Chain A
Amino acid sequence: MNIVTIGLSAATLFAMAVVICYILGWASKAFYVEVDPRVEAIGAALPGANCGGCGFVGCNDYAEAVVLSGAPVDKCPVGGASCASEVAGIMGVEVGESYPQRPVVHCTAKYSDRKGRHEYRGEMTCKGANMVAGVQGCTYGCLGFGDCTRVCKYDAIHVIDGVATVDYDKCIGCGACGSVCPRNIITITPFKKSQILAVGCSNKDKGKDVMAVCEVGCIGCKACARKSEIFKIVDNLPTINYDNWDAECSLEVLEACEKCPRNRLIFVGEPSDADIVATKDKEAPEIIEADFKTTVDDTEWRG
């Protein structure tokens, strides 16, 4: 009886395995559906635990999302980093950028520099205040309610003295702050050197109008542009052409900075040495241009 039981057990399982393998094998052929080979490849690279930890329903769904809708490659908590790099390999994306991108806040006026500030009651966010006239005179500059601080997951940007200030040690350049700022004064800029030059003002109005609202704003006097080729005045504001940025011009640039009557040319950032090494050989980035908008409320209202 013992042997029979043992035999029968083994046989039962064996029979089941045979039947199932056969059926499934047949089914996989009979019901074959064309899929993107990358989906399969990623599916194979993923652990297949189907734990749902990635936020998708199961590994296959995630694989599809990666291929079809460009989901991030590093979402699988089970597979971890090794899995992420494998998936990245399949997708042909690089993990890591060629040069560090960091946010630059193009406003440097402290509370005391701003004219026409009024007490504001309402939703205490920049987004909200941006829709109300008269919170402060300047309609371009930082509002200081810290929407950017709230979205930064890395605790890297803070409102100090009424103006958003990036902590370049912590910032990883995710760009969240830039996309949330309702005044579009944060640009995500490639850092070619540990410190780059930036314009600390976004006001595109004429000098007189700027002076009416801000103690320190750029008045578009063109002093810098006269000193160095690298500056070009567009809409009453200098833009900096990083193509022409090299060691020789740094002297001119320093001079230009000195000439600026309002001291609005500033050096920002101090990315690590590693970043500098990493970006040494990369081609210089194109002109960085902040997408300033005359911002207050472009929604249609009423009717």
Chain B
Amino acid sequence: MISYLIDIFLIGIGAALINNFVLYYFVGICPFVGVSRKISTAFGMGCAVIFVIAIAAVISWAITTYVLMPGALLSRTVAGLFVPPETAAGIDLTILSYIVYIFAISSSVQFVEMYVRKFFPPLYKALGVYLPLITTNCAILFACLVIMSKITGVDNPADAWDLGRALTLAVGGGIGFTIAIVIMAGIREELDLCDVPKPFKGVAISLIVAGILSLGFMGFTGVDSGLRKAMMPKPEVVAQVQPEAEAGK
């Protein structure tokens, strides 16, 4: 249990600071340079991203686990109606993942937008305008893809991420995005009062600032393993071992 919590904590820290979505993985650059002119706007955008990324993570985790991955519960059951169970268990729908994710993201964004607009007009005023922009924000899809790779890409099914980890990664990433974009907006408001050479005004100087920021954030490299080392009791090397049956081919 403790180790699970530590894991969650480190995933969150990792996504937010160490491997910041924007500054390390380069996702969500378009809004990062586009919507970072004012602190308030940037913060609104960040909140909207956190919100949507969480929803998208839940949906994509569920779809991947229950429908897409080989031997997933739903597809196996449905296919089992037509073919023998062994074959059904091998059916792999991961090829659909991209299309399904983007479909899920865009429709959930839209649904949320309509819902909020109807029932929480003040919230819509504050947040709603950013929602549509998010559909084409790489960060969301990126989070889904990472989650997918942690479910289908692992060597053994026991390591597959559960919903908690998936959600933490997504929310951590969203928070990381918010941190980056708010810092950027603060700096850009400051830069409005500076004498930046003309060709660099606007996006070019923002990218350079992002470069220096990313340089600064490189300082966090290794914080996660440092924290893990500090928090985890050293694993015993002597181990109780059982051989397993050969994995079927």
Pick the residue among A12, A32, A56, A61 that contacts B75 (CB under 8 A). A12
Within the complex, the shortest CB–CB distance from B134 to chain A, in Å, comes to: 9
B124: nearest residue on chain A (CB-CB)?
Answer: A33
Given A4-B79, A4-B91, A51-B30, verify A58-B111 contact (CB < 8 Å): no
Which A residues touch B88, using CB under 8 A?
4
B103 contact from A20, A28, A32, A53, Cβ within 8 A? A20
A59–B132 CB distance below 8 A: yes
From B7-15, B94-102, B138-146, give the one contacting chain A: B94-102
- C-alpha spacing A13/B96, complex, angstroms: 8
Q: Is A13 in contact with B100, judged by CB distance below 8 angstroms?
A: yes
Is there an interface contact between B133 and A57, defined as CB atoms closer than 8 Å? yes
A24 at the B interface (CB under 8 A): yes
Contact call B35/A60, Cβ cutoff below 8 A: no
Chain B residues near A28 (CB-CB < 8 A): 114
The distance in angstroms between the C-alpha atoms of A27 and B31, with both chains bound, is: 27
Number of interface residues of B (CB under 8 A): 40
Q: Is the CB of A33 within 8 A of B117?
A: yes
In the complex, the answer to whether B82 meets A4 with C-beta atoms within 8 Å is yes
A60 nearest CB neighbor, chain B only: B132
A23 touches B129 (CB 8 A): no
- Verify B75–A1 contact, CB threshold 8 A: no
Is A9 part of the contact surface with B, judged by Cβ < 8 Å? yes
CB within 8 Å of A: which B98-149 residues: 99-100, 103-104, 107, 110-111, 114-115, 117-119, 129-130, 132-133, 135-136
Closest Cβ–Cβ distance, residue B184 to chain A (whole Å): 14
Selected from A1, A8, A53, A60, the residue in CB contact (under 8 A) with B34 is: A53
- How near does chain A come to B170, taking the closest CB pair, in angstroms? 20
In this complex, what residue of B is CB-closest to A59? B132
Within the complex, the shortest CB–CB distance from A50 to chain B, in Å, comes to: 5
A212 part of interface (Cβ distance < 8 Å): no
A16 at the interface (CB under 8 A from B): yes
Q: Which B residues are CB-close (under 8 A) to A32?
A: 118
Bound Cα distance A136, B30 (Å)? 51
Q: Is the interface of B mostly helix, strand, loop or mixed?
A: helix
Q: Inside 8 A of B99's CB, which chain A residues have their CB?
A: 13
> A122 to B223, alpha carbons, bound, how many Å?
51
Question: 1/0 per residue B59-84: CB within 8 Å of A?
Answer: 00000000100000001001100110
The B-contacting residues of A in range 42-88, CB under 8 angstroms, are 49-53, 55-61
Q: Which residues of B contact A9 (CB under 8 A)?
A: 93, 95-96
A52-B31, A52-B133, A57-B35 known; A31-B95 Cβ under 8 A: no
A58 contact set on B, CB distance < 8 A = 129-130, 132-133
Q: Which of A24, A49, A50, A53 contacts B107 (CB 8 A)?
A: A24
Q: Chain A's nearest CB lies how many Å from the CB of B42?
A: 10
Whether a CB of chain B sits under 8 angstroms from the CB of A299 is no
**Would you call B152 an interface residue if the criterion is a C-beta within 8 Å of the partner chain's C-beta atoms?**
no
Say yes or no for B41: interface residue by CB 8 A criterion. yes
> What residues of A have a CB within 8 angstroms of the CB of B129 in the complex?
56-58, 60-61
Name the distance in Å between B185's Cβ and chain A's nearest Cβ. 13
Q: Chain B residue with minimal CB distance to A23?
A: B111
- List residues of A (1-28) whose CB comes within 8 Å of B's CBs: 1, 4-5, 8-9, 11-13, 16-17, 20, 23-24, 27-28
Q: Does B221 sit within 8 A of A, measured CB to CB?
A: no
The residues of B that contact A55 with a CB separation of less than 8 Å are 37
With A1-B87, A52-B31, A58-B130 as contacts: A8 and B79 at CB distance below 8 Å: yes
**Can you name the residue of chain A whose Cβ is closest to the Cβ of B33?**
A52
Q: List residues of chain B with CB within 8 A of the CB of A33.
A: 117-118
Question: For residue A4, which residues in chain B have a CB less than 8 angstroms away from its CB?
Answer: 79, 82-83, 87-88, 91
Instruction: Give the nearest-CB partner of A64 in chain B.
Output: B129
A57-B130, A60-B129 are contacts. A1–B115 as well, Cβ < 8 Å?
A: no
Q: Are A8 and B75 in contact (CB under 8 A)?
A: yes
B107 touching A20 by the CB < 8 A rule? yes
Any chain A CB within 8 A of the CB of B23? no
- Whether A51 touches B132, Cβ cut-off 8 Å, given contacts A13-B99, A13-B100, is no
Pick the contact of B91 from A5, A57, A60, A61 — CB < 8 Å? A5
Q: Which residues on the A side are within 8 Å of B75 (C-beta)?
A: 8, 12
What CA separation (Å) do A20 and B99 show in the bound complex?
13
Q: Complex: how many Å from CA A8 to CA B91?
A: 9
* CB pair B30 A52 closer than 8 Å: yes
B166 located at the interface, meaning its Cβ lies under 8 Å from any Cβ of chain A in the complex:
no
**Minimum Cβ distance to chain B for residue A204 (Å):** 37
Which residues of A are found within 8 Å of B30, using beta-carbon distances?
A: 51-52
A205, B91: Cα distance in complex, Å:
94
- Interface 1/0 per residue, B17-30 and A, CB below 8 Å: 00000000000001
- Of chain A, the residue at the smallest CB distance from B118 is A31
A57 to B31, CA, bound (A): 9
Question: Which residues of A lie under 8 Å from residue B53 when comparing CB positions?
Answer: none
Question: What's the Cα separation between A55 and B115 when bound, in Å?
Answer: 26
B182 proximal to A (CB < 8 A): no
B:163-216 near A, CB below 8 Å: none
Which one, B41, B93, B107, B114, contacts A31 given CB within 8 A?
B114
Bound together, the chains give a CA A114 to CA B105 distance in angstroms of: 69
